[in-house]
Structure 1
């Protein structure tokens, strides 16, 4: 295997057959020892977080595949905390797409003059550039097109896919009495098609039960009971 990329929460290796393998770590993003899915730094290490994240990722990706939603997922090995995926190209140097159902996190920090904490949002889609130096700035559809990162037509596909995927995750969580507040997704291109890439775990979403935030490991435990 050839190491392609060393990330905050996982490493990416190239396999002999041309596919990629993601190796999940126990590191999660946050600040000052507090987990935050939108943070740009590793805030803490939680033993078992890698396998827990992969278990949820496997479950969600397979649920999406059943609904015909395009992803890079091939299979997963929980014991080794690895996932095999098809290689995809990024938009620019990478985009993060957030779907928000309630006003929390960075949305509330930016728009708190007008929004109240926990205020319902109508599957609001927000795109940010993966740029740690500039703290992942939000970017509009017009700017994405003008900077040749994403065409306007591709943006509409991206937005539609984001809302569909978030809706599936929201429904899966609701089966366990859990409410999805927001989720961060990543996309790429495979042979010209926009597909979901990366992971879908407690580390990139905010979920609540009975009004209380659920930590990533607890979310995995509740979902896989």
Structure 2
């Protein structure tokens, strides 16, 4: 069973790298739009993180805990910019303030080992939870009529809500599940990996669709 799980993990990792590579190439070739630089930079950072994590985990057989928390710090940083600057159009100081607060969970990783062990299953929870709340705020504005429906933006936010809500649940439940049923944990993490790739695909589609709209800044 573990051999099949490892094989599935490798296939998912390769699939993510392929999706992000194609997305980066597509983003480079699309015409300019408001979030183009943000989208392209985000995709390139995600590609580098996925590639390095796969190399460390599958080929060097070393722990990827640092890459894991680093990836969530990157998600938080880029999505914080997306929501505060592009979507909600908050003043720059709010974007900088929330980005600064995002350093706190990331810095937990540098705590001495006995102390970090207390937080290792929960260090990404503030990132996932804050991103989930931002996506919920978008949908609240949408259903209350405060925001105009745009298909690519709605699909992107739906994928964000799906993935980061699931990850917030796993951040709370993983320690319990690991001690109860490793097969169940593997199943949840497989679903998580699939939802992550749906998010990648929605991010790429969002950029492509936005490039087809009239230029807005």
Per the normalisation by structure 2, the TM-score is 0.28
Q: Which has the higher contact order (CA 8 A, sep 6+)?
A: 2
Query: Which of the two has greater strand per residue?
Result: 1
Larger-Rg structure: 2
